[in-house]
Structure formats: structure tokens, C-alpha cells
Amino acid sequence: MASEFKKKMFWRAIVAEFLAMSLFIFISIGSALGYNFPVVGNKTATATQDNVKVSLAFGIAIATMAQSVGHISGAHLNPAVTLGLLLSCQISLLKAFMYIVAQCLGAVVATAILSGVTSSLPNNSLGLNALADGINSGQGLGIEIIATFQLVLCVLATTDRRRNDLSGSAPLAIGLSVALGHLLAIDYTGCGINPARSLGSALVARNFTNHWIFWVGPMLGGASAALIYDFILAPRSSDLTDRMKVWTSGQVEEYDLDGDDINTRVEMKPK
């Protein structure tokens, strides 16, 4: 772990996660809050949130950030994705921890900035995740698990370098998976599927009601997707020794970017 800590590319990846997460949160939650602003041309209309607009904003923002920093950090932008890739043995324990810290900090900073930008909004929840009326904690947890499961499964499948049948854009596929999760979950939980995103809103809004659901659900969904993909759907041949080596030291090829060769992917690849 000490050698990994000293690599320049390691810290570039951390900064990339922080920056991309900040942009993602500001854009996506900002789109969700926009419906609260008065419509000048039609003051009699009641403002309603457009779930399709919000879902597309989250999905397109993820796809854009993945395309922008994927070659630097892998563009996890979600602790549940990071956990899935950790269990899939594609990232070290140290890097996973630092990624999650960077993601959470990015979400908090972006939400705080957004709070200032939208300070004139009445009852501004800042995108706070909450259970809908009639949805209990168990049901909300189930929604979060399923929505995150399909996202992490998509990430693992579309970035699996053992496949030779892939075509099209992996960032776009992952972005569409994020949008799909939101189309499912917005009406039930506000759609967390990203613990860092949920933490930013809860911390700045100072409201942690049922917040545990938006950590436990996504983490369980991400872990389940990784284990099912790696051991059932597309088993890897690496043994426990190889896995322990990656968890403690990172991948052997992972830091071949001490130079400026930005054309080599450094993340989201199998052993």
C-alpha cells in the first residue's frame, strides 16, 4: 500500500473523483430543484417535477463525467460502484477508501454550493432522499438494492475486458443504467443508489431521517452484483492469493502511467 500511496497517478485519480463527483452532483441535483422556480409565462400552473428530465440529467451527467475522467480514475463516482469493483478485485483497499472519501467530499461541497445558488427556494430540500408516503423502510431498502444492483452489474459487464463482443460507448451504457434506476426509484425513495450523493444532501440539509437506507441498500446491491457477476455469471480464474495481492498493492499494470500516456486505461479492468 505504501508504494501505491506514493504514485502520482494515485493522487490524480483521487482528485479526478472529487472533481467529477462535484460536477455530477451540482448538475444532477440542480436539475431536480429547477422545477421549484416560478414559471414567468404561466403563474397559474402548479410546478411538478419531471421524472424523465431528472432521470436523464443524472444519466447524462454520469456518462459525461465517465467520458471525461474515466481514463484517469475509472469514474466510479459512487461508493457502491467502488465497493463492487473492490470485491471484483479491480482496485486496492487503500484506493477504494480514498475514492469513497473523495466522492463524499465532492458531494458535500457541490451540495453546499448548490444550497447557496438556490437559497431563494422555499422549503429547499437539496435533493434529500426520503421515503414516499406508504413506503416503509423495508420496501425502500428493497428498491435501493435492486436499482443499485442493475447499475453495478452494468458497470462490471460493460467494462469487462475479457469480452470481445462489446460495441458502442461504455459511459453511455452506464449513464442509461443510472437513468433507468432513477426512473424506477424516484417515486419511492427519491432514488439514492449512490450513498455519497445521499450524504451530501442529508448533511447540508441537516436531515438524516432514514438515511441508513441510502447507505445499506446501495452497498448491498453493489456487493451482490459484484459477487454474482464474478462467481456465477462470468467467473474469474484468479485465486485468493492473486486477489489479496490486488487488495493490498493494487494491480501490477495499474500504475504504468507515471509518464503522460493518457491513452491507457488505468481502472475498471480485470486481472
Predicted pLDDT of residue 239: 67
Cell digits of residue 169: 460507448
pLDDT given at position 267: 41
Closest among 86, 78, 69 to 107, alpha carbons compared: 78
Residue segments in the chain with a per-residue pLDDT below the cut of 50: 44, 252-271
Q: Are 258 and 8 in contact (CB under 8 A)?
A: yes
Rounded CA separation 68/61 (Å)? 10
Per-residue pLDDT at 246: 72
pLDDT of residue 4: 72
Alpha-carbon distance of 252 to 106, in angstroms, equals: 28
Reference 131, options 121, 117, 122, 141; nearest CA is 141
| Rounded distance between C-alpha atoms, residue 27 and residue 178, angstroms | 14
C-alpha gyration radius of the chain: 19
What gap in Å lies between CA 247 and CA 251, rounded to an integer?
Answer: 8
C-alpha distances out from residue 184 to 20, 66, 199, Å: 24, 22, 21
Judge contact between 99 and 69, C-beta under 8 A: no
CB 151 within 8 A of CB 80: yes
Q: What's residue 271's pLDDT?
A: 35
Nearest in space to 219 (alpha carbons), one of 25, 83, 62: 83
Residues 6+ apart with CB under 8 A from 94: 1, 4, 5, 250
* Distance (Å, whole) CA 162 – CA 236: 10
